[in-house]
C-alpha cells in the first residue's frame, strides 16, 4: 500500500490511473480500522482496479466537547491492515491542508441533517457532507463505499451525490457485528467491561422490534416504546433516541410499511453508540 499525504499528489496519482482507463474506488474512513472497515474494502476491491482508502479524522464533523482529540488514531496498524486487504493507496491528508486558515465552504443537505443524530450533533452532517465532497473531488472515484452502520450518513451522502449530479456510484455495505450483536465501531474502545456487556442490548432491541413487526405490529410508537423499555433495563444505558422513520426521507411514519429505518443512539459511559436496522415491511393485508 502506498501512503499519500499530499492533496496534489493524490489528485495526480488518481488522475493518471483514470487516464490509463482504470476504475477507481474510494472508501472514506476516520481510521482505526476494524472488521467493519475491512468489509467495505473487500466490497470495493472486487469492483475496481485502483482502491483508495482515506484516513482522516475530520474536525468539521465534531462538535465542541466531542471526542475529536480522544478519537483513536493508529496509522501504522491501519497501513498494515490496508496492505492485507489489497488497498492500493492510503490517503491521509493534513488537517491544515484540508481546512486552511479562513476555510469557509460547506455543503448542507437541508432537511435531513436536523433529524435523528443531527438533533444532538448540530453541524455534524454538514461536516460529513463537506469532507465527502472534498474527497470525491480530490480522488474522483467511480465508486464510493459506505457502511449501513451510519445509516443517516448514507442517506445524506446519497442525496448529495444525486442532487449535485456527481458522477459516482455509491454502494452501502451491511453492518458488521460482534458475536453478541454489538455493531463494530472505533468508539467501542471507550467502553469498560460492564458497559461493553450491557451494550449488546442495543442490537437486542433492534431484533425485538423486527420480531414485533414480523408478528404484525405496525404502530411505530408501540415498537419504539418496547425498545425503550428493553434498553432502559440496562443500568448504564442513557438512551438518546429510538426512531422508526421513512428510510429515504428520515421523517416519522404513522404506519410501519415499506422501507423503514429503525435507528437509535445511546450513551454508555463515554461512548455514544449508534445502530440501526433497515426493514422492508409488507402491509398487514399482504403479510
Residues that bind ligand AMP (CB under 6 A): 29-30, 36-37, 39-40, 146-147, 149-150, 173, 175-176, 183-186
Q: Return the number of the residue (37 or 218) whose C-beta is nearest ligand AMP.
A: 37
Torsion of CA 129, 124, 275, 75, to 10 degrees: 80
Least separation, in Å, of the C-beta of 35 and ligand AMP? 7
User: What is the rounded end-to-end Cα distance, in angstroms, of the chain?
Assistant: 50
Least separation, in Å, of the C-beta of 183 and ligand AMP? 5
Q: Return the number of the residue (85 or 150) whose C-beta is nearest ligand AMP.
A: 150
**Cell output for 216:** 404484525
Least separation, in Å, of the C-beta of 264 and ligand AMP? 15
Q: Phi and psi of 65, rounded to 5°?
A: 80, -5
Q: Return the number of the residue (37 or 142) whose C-beta is nearest ligand AMP.
A: 37
Based on the residue annotation, tell me whether 37 is a catalytic residue of this protein: yes
Q: Return the number of the residue (55 or 242) whose C-beta is nearest ligand AMP.
A: 55
Is the Cα dihedral 253, 254, 257, 258 positive or negative?
A: negative
**Cell output for 149:** 452502520
Helix/strand/coil for 265: strand
**Which entry of 37, 92, 124, 142 is annotated as an active-site residue?**
37
Q: Which DSSP letter does residue 66 get?
A: S
As a residue count, the chain comes to 287
Least separation, in Å, of the C-beta of 235 and ligand AMP? 25
Report strand pairing: 2-4 vs 24-29. Answer: unpaired
CA atoms of 148 and 152, how far apart (whole Å): 9
Is the Cα dihedral 123, 124, 126, 131 positive or negative?
A: positive
Least separation, in Å, of the C-beta of 87 and ligand AMP? 13
The set of catalytic residues is: 37
Amino acid at each position: 500500500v502506498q501512503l499519500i499525504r499530499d492533496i496534489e499528489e493524490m489528485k495526480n496519482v488518481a488522475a493518471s490511473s483514470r487516464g490509463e482507463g482504470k476504475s477507481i474506488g474510494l472508501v472514506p474512513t476516520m481510521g482505526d480500522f476494524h472488521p467493519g472497515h475491512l468489509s467495505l474494502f473487500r466490497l470495493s476491491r472486487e469492483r475496481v482496479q485502483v482502491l483508495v482508502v482515506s484516513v482522516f479524522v475530520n474536525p468539521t464533523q465534531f462538535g465542541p466537547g466531542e471526542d475529536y482529540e480522544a478519537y483513536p488514531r493508529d496509522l501504522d496498524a491501519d497501513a498494515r491492515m490496508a496492505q492485507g486487504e489489497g488497498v492500493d493507496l492510503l490517503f491521509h491528508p493534513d488537517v491544515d491542508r484540508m481546512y486552511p486558515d479562513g476555510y469557509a465552504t460547506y455543503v448542507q443537505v437541508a432537511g435531513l441533517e436536523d433529524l435523528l443524530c443531527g438533533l444532538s450533533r448540530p453541524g455534524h452532517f454538514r461536516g460529513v457532507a463537506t469532507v465527502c465532497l472534498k474527497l470525491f473531488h480530490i480522488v474522483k472515484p467511480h465508486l464510493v463505499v459506505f457502511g449501513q452502520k451510519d445509516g443517516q450518513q448514507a442517506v445524506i451522502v446519497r442525496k448529495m451525490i444525486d442532487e449535485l449530479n456527481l458522477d459516482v456510484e455509491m454502494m452501502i455495505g451491511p453492518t458488521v457485528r460482534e458475536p453478541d450483536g454489538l455493531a463494530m465501531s472505533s468508539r467501542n474502545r471507550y467502553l469498560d467491561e460492564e458497559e461493553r456487556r450491557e451494550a449488546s442490548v442495543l442490537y437486542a432491541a433492534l431484533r425485538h422490534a423486527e420480531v414485533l413487526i414480523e408478528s404484525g405490529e405496525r404502530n411505530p410508537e408501540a415498537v419504539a416504546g418496547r425498545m425503550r423499555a428493553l434498553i432502559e433495563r440496562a443500568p448504564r444505558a442513557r438512551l438518546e433516541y429510538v426512531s422508526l422513520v421513512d428510510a429515504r426521507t428520515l421523517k416519522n411514519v404513522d404506519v410501519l410499511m415499506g422501507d423503514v429505518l429503525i435507528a437509535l443512539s445511546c450513551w454508555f459511559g463515554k461512548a455514544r453508540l449508534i445502530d440501526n436496522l433497515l426493514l422492508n415491511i409488507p402491509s398487514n393485508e399482504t403479510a
